[in-house]
Amino acid sequence: MNLSFDRPPNGIGKYTPSRGFIKHALRLFLIFLLPASPVAREAQESQSAGQAEVLWEQAIAAKGGREQLYRISSLVMWYQETVRNLLGLAVHRGIVERLYVFPGKSWE
C-alpha cells in the first residue's frame, strides 16, 4: 500500500495522490462512515426493539402471564431516601411509601 504522493517530474506544481492512497482513503471512509448511516442505525434500532420485546414477554411469563398481572389491583412500594444539598451533606432522611391503585391513582 503506497500512501505517498507522486511528485511531478520537475518538482513544481500540484501533488496528485497515488492510487494506493485513494484506495486507502476510500476504505477508511467505508469503515467509519458507512456504519453510521441511517440504514445501519435503523437496522440496529429494529434489532434492539425486537430484543426488548422478547425480554418484556419473558418477564411477563415469569410473573405468571398477563391474566395474573391483570388481577393486581394495588401496589405498595417503600424505600429509604436521603436528600443531600450541594455540598453532599444529608439534609433529610426518611422512609417514602407509595400506594398505587390501578388503573391510575397513586398516593405518596
Average pLDDT over residues 35-57: 81
DSSP annotation string for 45-84: HHHHHHHHHHHHHHHHHHTT-HHHHHT--EEEEEEEEEEE
Query: Which three three-digit cell numbers place residue 90?
Result: 444529608
Among 5-9, 48-52, 80-84, the range scoring the smallest mean pLDDT is: 5-9
| For residue 27, pLDDT beyond 90 | no
- The average confidence (pLDDT) of the chain is 81
Print burial letters for 4-13: b (CB count within 10 Å at least 16), e (below 16): eeeeeeeeee
- Model's pTM, two decimal places? 0.41
Residue 62: pLDDT above 90?
Answer: yes
